[in-house]
Amino acid sequence: MILGLDVSTSIVGVCVYDSNKEEIIKADYIDLRKIGGLLNKAQAVEDYINQNLLDKKIDYIFIEEALMFFRRGGSTAKTMSVLQRFNGIVSWICFKSLNIEPRYITPISARSRCGIKVPRGKKAKEVVIEHFIQSQEFQIDYTRYGNVQKYCYDIADAIVVAKAASKIMLDI
């Protein structure tokens, strides 16, 4: 089984994927939006892992790599620094709790391995969620105004990471 994580300081997307059966075992999220402080957020992630994932027979952990470059309209250096630190903390928590050293995959590589192409000018998150709306691989929740719930984007990214990881493990 593969644990795929989409790490951010607001919502962490979680996917446990059975690569043998090509089946999503768990598609979930950890909501950190109301938790203050990086270490308190990390504690929430650790609590989630200890309460929800220790009973799963996870063989590999793949985490979406944090942004490493600037782009127009993107994150600031401060935001990128915080995300890198948090990504490292979550990596350590995974290693400590599950005794598995995480591997990393870029979002572009993960989407590519899953056959999701983002046309020029389109937002990747929108293309990914549209893929899952069409495939109906997990339940997508909507706001009362008909918009996709924010956490669904993170779950979708975690699924892409886990499925891409499955393809990577086949290549090894």
- pLDDT (tens digit, 0 to 9) for every residue of the chain, 172 residues total? 999 999 999 999 999 999 999 999 999 999 999 999 999 999 999 999 999 999 999 999 999 997 655 555 556 778 788 899 999 999 999 999 999 999 999 999 999 999 999 999 999 999 999 999 999 999 999 999 999 999 999 999 999 999 999 999 877 6
pLDDT score recorded for residue 132: 96
pLDDT score recorded for residue 76: 75
pLDDT score recorded for residue 35: 98
pLDDT score recorded for residue 68: 53
Q: How many independent structural domains does the chain possess?
A: 1
Q: How many helices (H) and strands (E) does the chain have?
A: 5, 5
- Distances from the Cα of 75 to the Cαs of 36, 67, 88, in angstroms? 20, 9, 18
In terms of residue numbers, what domain contains 102? 2-171
pLDDT score recorded for residue 71: 52
- Distances from the Cα of 17 to the Cαs of 2, 61, 141, in angstroms? 5, 10, 20
Side-chain half-sphere CA neighbours of 130 within 13 A: 10
* 5/13 Cα distance (integer angstroms): 6
Nearest to 102 by CA among 152, 17, 165, 11: 165
Q: What's the CATH number where 163 sits? A: 3.30.420.10
